[in-house]
Structure 1
Amino acid sequence: MKAPSPLCLHSLRLLAFPCSRESTSYLQRRCYASIPDKPPPPPTSHGPPTLRNPAIQRPPPRPGSYLRSKRDDDEEFTPQPLSRPIGMPQPPQPGENSGLDQRTLRQKRDDFVDYDKHLAKRASMKQQIIKPYFRDWSNMRFHKGKVFVANELLFRARHALFFPNFFGRTLNKGAGAALETAGDGYGGLGRDTCEAMAGKVSVVSVVSNAWAQGQVDTFCGAKENAKLVEVLEGAKDVAQRVEINLEDNLLKWWVLRLFGLARLRRERSLEQQGRYFLVRRGVSDEMKEGIGLLNDKGGYVYLVDGEHKIRWAGSAIATETEKASMIAGLQRLISKAKGEKSTKGQKPRLEEAVAEVVGVEQKTAAAGGV
């Protein structure tokens, strides 16, 4: 038996499901989707450029100076004077912030299987990834990178916070000849800043590039601030200059070691070379936030007393008011340090005089008793 033809099937469908002529005509024709019209090309003044449309031209590249220059749509930022002490709550200790992993194999294994520590490390890496690479350079357009204005008066000693310890190598070649086999990460030349600053008033500068060094020179340079150099020269026994150069980029670190160390040594005496620290690791974000180092591309200057407390701080390019307040604060700290030193020297003499007087009185009493 042959299969029914399509016409027979259609007739049977009409008998089973009677409908109007319009619907019958609709069933007899097939509808196809129409081809859409080609969309018009986007205008040349709007929309992202594409390589497929040569009519759209790419905008000319903008130099970095444009990104660093201040624009009308920027939010206004005005640095404010320090209203409270800055620094770390705990005093620095030798060996801190060396950046070396001192954990044992068992501790490393325990940390590797600790999920909470994985989450903490992931959050830290996320913060580093989302930070724009040129953010600090872009922020230099606001007052030349000035983060805060220096305090006019010294912070009181009982309220001041501590300057953290930085661990790095110095420019002095013979400083670590006996420790070259030590695993400090600097070939045995690693030193602690807290040991170099102990017991002395220190003018500490922190830089990370030539731009920051130029800003620090406005505070401490021999041409820009000859009065500061004169004060330091007159109080070498209680005051000193300490320089810290931060460089966490490994490539720049080796370029500095290969081509920059000789120049830095020529510009400084042998004594100053022992107080110039090159630091590559161990500087955490907490340390930077604690001492106000919020822009890595700028320069910072601190007055630190003999107890490692930050008594004064300045950033970026110095003003005449900041220079005057820094010199006045330094002279006050030097006078106090000299007074304490003289008091310590007179204390044994005073004790000897009291003992001599007591001995004479005892001899007199003994003679009278006889």
Structure 2
Amino acid sequence: MEREMILEVVDLDICFQLRGKVLHAIRDVSMELYQGEILAIVGESGSGKSVFTKSFMGLLDKNGYVAGGSIVYFGGEEEREVNLTAISRERDWRRIRGHEIAMIMQDPMTSLNPLKTIGSQIMEAVLLHQKVGRMEAIKRTLKHLEDVGIQEPEKRFEQYPHEFSGGMRQRVVIAIAIACNPKILVCDEPTTALDVTIQAQILDLLKELRHKYNLSVILITHDLGVVANMADRVAVMYAGDIVEIGTSEEIFYDPKHPYTWALLSSLPQAGQKGSDLFSIPGTPPSLYVDIKGDAFANRNPQALKIDFVKRPPYFQVSPTHKAKTWLLDKRAPKVTLPPIVEKIRKGGLF
């Protein structure tokens, strides 16, 4: 059965003007999002994950702009196609933000107004996007609080953010997002500030809400371990580019890009007692200059000569899996996979 595409990004370029220089933050990125799936975007801090997804909602900083490419949203009113890169007026963006595409930020305390009750903040989203009366808005707000796992919603309705724990505040932020009745939910590192137990609860909640509200979810994270048992597909991002994308099984059990190998090797659970944890050597390249060849070449011990000269195209591994690495070229030499990749293939980690 063919999946229905809800968002398509083609050759997207995003730049920023900074101190008289141009920073090329997103470099010719293409991606598809399908109805009802969870797509995880992973990569180091600074790889462009947040900038990429903020462009879906017109939330780039004032010095940022789309320099090329398109973002087409297929779930608009009357199911018409909307090219998001062509939107320039704020009132047009307000039809997209919240109602069509909503975002959950990583720090719930900065997302909530400390001077307003929890109930009023959720109800504001209901009144704005669902166009119902006050009594119905209160009823729906209480239902959203229940749906995100907050007990005694009538009592919590009247409380303020400082009366909630970090995990509960994140649940409230999620309630505000689903109250807007969106079709796409972007979660920007939603568990970063939470402990491991609460982190797992929030991820389970997002999986439940995906089915209950028929959401397509984009999960941004720097930790591959977070998405191992959650994402349907995984996009690996490095230096403003998606270097590998495939199903969760393909990325974890048959990764092809050296950067994906490095991320997997960096997982804490991959470490061995008495040995140092693996860290990726070097630093990402400057995005102020044109990057020649493979952006990961200087940090890749298995880099080929061509990696420093020519940027690799996508090589198709399967109908659902592709990667930008010259190692997939039929002329490339065979390389030894890192031990952790072999261990994962044998089912020894997840």
TM-score band, normalised by shorter chain = under 0.3
* Structure with the greater alpha carbon radius of gyration: 1
* Bigger share in strand: 2
TM-score under structure 2 length normalisation: 0.22
Larger RCO (alpha carbons 8 Å, 6+ apart):
1
